[in-house]
Amino acid sequence: MAERKLTDKETPLRLIRSLSHDIPGIYEQLSNLQQTWRNMPDYDPRCELPISAAYTYLIEVHKATDMDAAQLSPAITACYLWRQTPVIYDFDADLAAMLYEQADDMDEEQTLPWEVLLRLPYPCVYIKAPDMRQTIDGFFAWIEKDLNRETLELRIQTLDNGMDNTMPFSIHLLPGATLGDCLEDTKKTTRINFREYVDQSKVPPDVLEAVMKDMTQLILRPLQLTLYLCATNAEIETRQKPKIEIQGSEKQRKMKKESKASDVAAFDVGVRLGAAIRHATQPKAIYVKSPETPGTGSAKRPHSRRGHWHHYWAGPRDGERSLLLKWTSPTFIHADDAPKDVVLQVPVK
């Protein structure tokens, strides 16, 4: 298959350049702040740079208002971190749709340890999310440390189709909690914060619930795609190798000029699995049993038992162990209008 090269408009580079133009030298300053962060007593290696660093810089140096700094700092941090390791994961639309369906029923996710999210392939990734929302192209995902609460967060920063408008979301990662606990805490906090900014006496209850449902969906759907990237059996294929080695030394990254689309590493996610999903679910001729066919009853329409997550520990019981995540692919029933089940297998590399 011929390599399809990325274009600038398919990447977050437009937003990165826009912020650099509006706040000259911002990425160089964040690089200095990152070194400061690594030498601080409360440094946490799971967080490359807290959002509070960008927030404080905007307040103290650029004299930004509290509201402007709060709105800009998550986007600036996402762009800075992604700029260091510019990678894009582009999901197959049918695989993404199947994962979105899982987002509507979080039963299996309730017991997942949130630590599975620490297996992101890079400190900050950009994930293209087809059909997640009509106006959204994708989102940044990375691990943040809230220095006020002294807890970690999964940060999600959506980016619109024009690659210039962005919106922040987060999931609180509480010590000793399951992912279900974290989501409940996040929704509770979101509801409280929403009430602080909105006069509920002027908002009908059904409208309030609709807004909360919409915001929850904008958290759960990206979470599913992020979890998939953390799975040990995720189907990921390289589409474009970057001209500049993204794993180079920090000195090399500082010396290089602003990235171009050719400097971005691109990966296709779920190409073969998506094709298998389409094959299993496409309309087919109705299967009619002949009198000689064993069994009774009429043929059923194709349907599926949805995929789900499975986690386990690997390694010696008396040594260092690793928490691993796997996605169990769906089973399609009557996919060929025949009595045989079709199970989709996810290729493991």
Would you say residue 184 has pLDDT above 60? yes
Global pTM reads 0.84
Where is pLDDT greater, at 109 or 261? 261
Q: For position 167, what pLDDT does the model report? A: 93
User: Structural domain tally of the chain?
Assistant: 2
Residue % of the chain over a pLDDT of 90? 54
| Residue carrying structure tokens 């619109």 | 160
- Residue 200: which pLDDT band, with cuts at 50, 70 and 90? low
Mean pLDDT, residues 277-290: 61
The helix/strand/coil state of 292 is: coil
Q: For position 340, what pLDDT does the model report? A: 41
40 in the same domain as 171 = yes
323 in the same domain as 204 = no
User: Which of 275-279, 307-311, 335-339 is the least confident region?
Assistant: 335-339
Q: For position 289, what pLDDT does the model report? A: 44
Smallest CA-to-CA distance from 96 within 267, 221, 281, 276 is with: 221
* Residue at 279 is within a domain: no
Name residue 172's beta-bridge partners.
153
329 in the same domain as 297 = yes
Cβ(58)–Cβ(64) under 8 Å?
A: yes
Mean pLDDT, residues 278-295: 57
Residue % of the chain over a pLDDT of 70? 76
- Residue 97: which pLDDT band, with cuts at 50, 70 and 90? very high
The helix/strand/coil state of 81 is: helix
Q: For position 38, what pLDDT does the model report? A: 96
Q: For position 141, what pLDDT does the model report? A: 98
Residue 101 zone, left/alpha/beta (φ > 0; ψ -120 to 50; rest): alpha
63 in the same domain as 179 = yes
266 in the same domain as 318 = no
- Residue 31: which pLDDT band, with cuts at 50, 70 and 90? very high
Other Cβ atoms within 10 Å of 219 Cβ, number: 18
Mean pLDDT, residues 69-97: 96
Q: For position 286, what pLDDT does the model report? A: 43
Of 239, 273, 307, the domain-final residue = 273
Q: Please, what is the average pLDDT of the chain?
A: 82
Would you say residue 285 has pLDDT above 50? no
Q: What is the DSSP string of 190-222?
A: HHHHHHHHS-GGGS-HHHHHHHHHHHHHHHHHH
Q: For position 336, what pLDDT does the model report? A: 47
Within 86-148, residue ranges assigned H as helices are 93-103
Q: For position 197, what pLDDT does the model report? A: 61
Would you say residue 314 has pLDDT above 80? yes
| Residue carrying structure tokens 């509770």 | 188
233 in the same domain as 98 = yes
138 in the same domain as 251 = yes
Where is pLDDT greater, at 349 or 229? 229
- Residue 284: which pLDDT band, with cuts at 50, 70 and 90? low
pLDDT of 121-140, one tens digit each?
A: 999 999 999 999 889 999 99
297 in the same domain as 257 = no
168 in the same domain as 125 = yes
Would you say residue 91 has pLDDT above 50? yes
Cβ(118)–Cβ(187) under 8 Å?
A: no
133, exposed or middle or buried, with CB in 10 Å at 0-12, 13-18, 19+? middle
Would you say residue 201 has pLDDT above 90? no
Q: For position 204, what pLDDT does the model report? A: 76
Mean pLDDT, residues 114-121: 95
- Residue 199: which pLDDT band, with cuts at 50, 70 and 90? low
Would you say residue 239 has pLDDT above 80? yes
State the Cα–Cα distance between residues 238 and 268, nearest whole angstrom: 6
- Residue 338: which pLDDT band, with cuts at 50, 70 and 90? very low
Domain that holds residue 312: 285-343
pLDDT of 54-69, one tens digit each?
A: 999 999 999 999 999 9
The helix/strand/coil state of 262 is: helix
- Residue 259: which pLDDT band, with cuts at 50, 70 and 90? confident
Within the chain, residue ranges assigned H as helices are 13-22, 26-38, 51-60, 66-84, 93-103, 179-197, 205-230, 250-255, 271-281
Of 248, 273, 298, the domain-final residue = 273
204 in the same domain as 65 = yes
